[in-house]
Amino acid sequence: MKYTEEDRVCLPVPLFHCFGITLGVMAILTHGATHVMLEQFDPLMVLAAVQKEKCTSLYGVPTMFIAEFSHPMFDMFDLSSLRTGIMAGSTCPVEAMKKVMKDMYMKDVTIVYGLTEGSPGFTQTSVNDPVEIKVETVGRKLPECEVKLVDPETGEDIGPGEKPGEICSRGYNVMKGYYKMPDKTTEAIDEEGWLHSGDLATVDEDGNYTIVGRIKDMIIRGGENIYPREIEEFFYTMPGIKDVQVVGIPDDTYGEIVGAFVILEDNFTLEEEDIRDYSLKKIARYKVPKHVFFVDGFPLTASGKIMKFKLREQAIELLKIREEQEEDLN
């Protein structure tokens, strides 16, 4: 991010997490930059802090950035001091990245990929990368880290331009292990020292990695592998949709079916059929959500990550309620 002592970093992410304490506080300290701290995340307070303190850098998970540029008072704030920052913590929607770069002036925004067990990042985009690399990939491996893709079933290495594989890292950045949990440590780190992330990715000839989803989040519908992120990226292009999460829902016929949780833009109305009709014209039929749930927000961890397993549980419960209501009507 090319920090100097002139940079002022707004850090609204929690400091108990590696994102805030390592990528944030440690980067600020080692470069003599100024730390603008918010005690808790509030999109309005973030916008106010950036304007008042003339921040040059801003951090957040995608849901935070979406809350900021979607806030009804967004246009009232001067964010032109912003230059760079990090969007991380979960997969970053392409359309959200474009808005952050354009509407929030963060043309040098970067994406960091990794996990707490990897201290926490092992790939990152550069401020010098072309726009398509910044918005479509999570960049290249960081210095002194090894990164590779492996077939999650066979363990064989996967090369550039090939099918998706599990992204793994090895090096100084990898944890020693889970505290007093040797069995869990063995599950996460293999005999050769590779940390297995549980995420699926592809890599191009230049070494840029693209995350396609988590292995456990992949939907298998009647033998077809469906990556939720692909469908989510598609829906971010639909007018009226502010945010969306796609999950697999258990199904007696297909094993799993596609479900979508949608947050609408303010004062915008859509029905389930609108979502499906839009989808049928543009993506394969088997990827079209069978069920759509309109919600006001997603269940989040304390560090702002979306808990997809909670969404799956919600989908099951909501469908049971729908079935009961239909039975009562009959």
Q: 189, 195 in Cβ contact below 8 A?
A: yes
Stated pTM of the model: 0.84
End-to-end CA gap in the chain: 61
CATH class of this structure's domain 1-106: alpha beta
Under CATH, which number does the domain 218-329 receive?
Answer: 3.30.300.30
Q: 122, 133 in Cβ contact below 8 A?
A: no
Does the pLDDT value for residue 6 go beyond 70? yes
* Residue 330, pLDDT score: 67
Does the pLDDT value for residue 105 go beyond 90? yes
19/114 Cα distance (integer angstroms) = 10
Collapsing DSSP states into helix, strand and coil, what is residue 192?
coil
pLDDT in tens, 140-151: 999 999 999 999
Please check whether the two domains, 1-106 and 218-329, share a CATH topology. Answer: no
| Per-domain residue ranges of the chain | 1-106, 218-329
Does the pLDDT value for residue 209 go beyond 90? yes
* Residue 152, pLDDT score: 92
